[in-house]
Amino acid sequence: MSQPPPTPSSGWGGPAPGTIYPGGAAPMSPGATGTQTSGLAIASLVTGLFFWCWVIPGIVSIVLGHLALESIENSGGAKRGRGMAIAGIVLGWVGIGIVGLLVLAWFVAVLTL
């Protein structure tokens, strides 16, 4: 039983139900690589984006970023998200630095009055 080739208007919905593959395993769908993005990396990036809220999100972002990097390294390639984890760490340190400068400026302003 053969199927007609897909047309541009019909799209290709995948193999017909009941299709048997050699070796018993179906091929992976396009785009499926078997890896997943680390949730810790995503959390690190998101909390890093809230660095302007005070110093706590910056600290949380740094900790989550380092945990994500360790988790990604230990996964043997099963997890990805290294760039997000590094971005979260950098944003966390930037936030802590900005808050530190603001506190320092406040002290200077108070002491010079």
Span 7-41, pLDDT tens digits: 555 555 666 666 665 555 555 555 555 678 888 99
- Residue 88 domain boundaries: 36-111
- Burial environment of residue 12 by CB neighbours within 10 A (0 to 12, 13 to 18, 19 or more): exposed
Instruction: Give 35-78 pLDDT, tens digit per residue.
Output: 788 889 999 999 998 877 778 899 999 999 999 999 999 988 88
Query: What pLDDT is attached to residue 25?
Result: 52
Output 33 or 83, whichever has higher pLDDT.
83
Query: What pLDDT is attached to residue 64?
Result: 94
Residue 5: inside a domain: no
Query: Would you report the helix, strand and coil content of the chain in percent, each value rounded to 5?
Result: 60, 5, 40
Residue 16: inside a domain: no
Residue 77: inside a domain: yes
Residue 97: inside a domain: yes
Residue 80: inside a domain: yes
Query: What pLDDT is attached to residue 1?
Result: 57
Query: What pLDDT is attached to residue 55?
Result: 83
Residue 47: inside a domain: yes
Please tell me the total count of domains within the chain: 1
| Whether the model pTM is above 0.75 | no
Output 80 or 7, whichever has higher pLDDT.
80
Residue 83: inside a domain: yes
Residue 17: inside a domain: no
